[in-house]
Structure 1
């Protein structure tokens, strides 16, 4: 079977079984899948391939941007502008409607960021991102010394204002997502194998950090990509594939992906297709509960 069911509710959230459709392959390491809810296409990155790819039903996979500065995580802001985390440059950038690239963040305290990894945008326009050092090693980035002594989680004011360090005690902060009401922010730690949750204050700061869940199981995989569906179920990569948690942190089961999985997103018109970036390939599966549009 392609699923590992730990609680019966898994079947009503994901399905009693699923079929994988491989819609692209031959990449070096796929990441950052992002669905455009209005124009109905998917972007995804190939970090070592230095490329952002575009997929649509009509055209299949085409090149969206090359070079991509070894981009990793992608999202859209509330105006539909592309936000990208760049490994090669240690920047967070925004693509303007005319195609120009605006640098939103590159340094903190006069030192270069490690390598921004994943990014989300709050409804008020503030940008939150994680900053582990993966983009400073061979294959995933450009080898170079790390300037900062910590791995942080940051907040950017809307439209690229002040950069604030929110948390600095992670080993390898990676995937992050807001609860549906945006009162909590979830951030996983790849090396520690767990998901932490923080309360989000009125000014956007994070407090009361605590471990919310761990990704436990058999097979290759670590906490990396992480998102929440329209009913509050949290999906997070981990051993064996994608772990699905209910809002109370109980693991309902695991989508057992054919390849080591880095990230995923929901797409298609009903947001019930789960697009999965898994090592050399891009997969699609159908699930029961839809995701949420990015904007």
Structure 2
């Protein structure tokens, strides 16, 4: 039998959920869990507790949670680059940073056209080494998740960092508050969430999809899916191209055609997810105060 946390909306969802598999709570005690990233070589997961200004580490070998970093600049989203280094979005530092192999921290991006970034939110690295990130104002809107400040850029944009020159280029400027982002398995499409409803009455609460050219230019940008429960935030794709996205009531699963086929209900607002485990078949869920996990019959791409 399927556990009650699984809501089947379309029969296609049953392919991905297994009988008698239940959701586990791995940790409790965060104020706003975000930015999960899994490191298979070490069998551990890092994630952010933004208001508490710390990054936590879950060790998959023994279930122990420890503080990876504190007073670290209010990290939000994380990813690994193609060399296995941690790439981070820092609200307080208003930058994209990277931890090098020797433990030092490098700045990948902190300005655009001579003006400070707002507060980078989520980040992904393409196979060519380019770094893509969103830059809404959530980290400078108050003192809760960073330092309150005015936006120098005056807009919330999506950026690409060139892998060769390090140049920062705006690739999308028509978002209210760009948030989570992820590539399709073949990297031909880029999905980006807009959570502008937090700042604009009846504002966007959807995911848009863009075609990606060889030189990094984006085209298209039509709405892929509207969130029917709160807001989409961070998300990941599996090998079949399904999107597993955060929402106000849990995790929603959409096909590559934009059909909502099922949900994983958490009882808490979910901010982000990550595929972890050696087989990449364990969905890690950042659900406000808790870190949770559930095994699925699919693998993250």
TM-score (norm 1): 0.94
Q: CA deviation at 1:258?
A: 2.6
User: After TM superposition, what 4+ stretches of structure 1 lie above 6 angstroms from structure 2?
Assistant: none
Counterpart for residue 75 of structure 1: 79
Counterpart for residue 200 of structure 2: none
Confirm or deny: 8 A CA contact 1:177 1:187 kept in the other structure: yes
Confirm or deny: 8 A CA contact 1:150 1:169 kept in the other structure: no
Confirm or deny: 8 A CA contact 1:126 1:156 kept in the other structure: yes
Confirm or deny: 8 A CA contact 2:12 2:261 kept in the other structure: yes
Q: CA deviation at 1:17?
A: 6.9
1:246 to 255, 268, 271: 255
Q: CA deviation at 1:239?
A: 3.2
Confirm or deny: 8 A CA contact 1:104 1:160 kept in the other structure: no
Pairing 1:230–2:239 present = yes
Structure 2 SS opposite 1:135: helix
Tell me the alpha carbon deviations over residues 60-109 of structure 1, each in whole angstroms, 9 at most, x when there is no partner.
10111122210000001111111000011110001000110101111111
2:280 to 271, 275, 278: 271
- Aligned partners of 2:154, 2:20: CA distance in 1, in Å? 45
Confirm or deny: 8 A CA contact 1:3 1:17 kept in the other structure: no
Tell me the alpha carbon deviations over residues 43-71 of structure 1, each in whole angstroms, 9 at most, x when there is no partner.
11111111111111326101111222100
- Aligned partners of 1:60, 1:243: CA distance in 2, in Å? 28
Tell me the alpha carbon deviations over residues 197-252 of structure 1, each in whole angstroms, 9 at most, x when there is no partner.
111111011112111111224xxx41101110121111111231111011111110
Pairing 1:2–2:5 present = yes
Confirm or deny: 8 A CA contact 1:196 1:211 kept in the other structure: yes
Confirm or deny: 8 A CA contact 2:248 2:270 kept in the other structure: no
- Aligned partners of 1:48, 1:251: CA distance in 2, in Å? 32
The number of residue pairs the alignment matches comes to 289
Tell me the alpha carbon deviations over residues 128-156 of structure 1, each in whole angstroms, 9 at most, x when there is no partner.
00000000123122111121111100000
Pairing 1:287–2:292 present = no
Note the residue ranges of structure 1 that are not aligned, 5 or more in a row.
Answer: none
Structure 2 SS opposite 1:252: strand
Note the residue ranges of structure 2 that are not aligned, 5 or more in a row.
Answer: 198-203
Counterpart for residue 86 of structure 1: 90
- Aligned partners of 1:282, 1:96: CA distance in 2, in Å? 27
Tell me the alpha carbon deviations over residues 5-32 of structure 1, each in whole angstroms, 9 at most, x when there is no partner.
1101111123467522111111111101
User: Cα RMSD between the aligned structures?
Assistant: 1.4
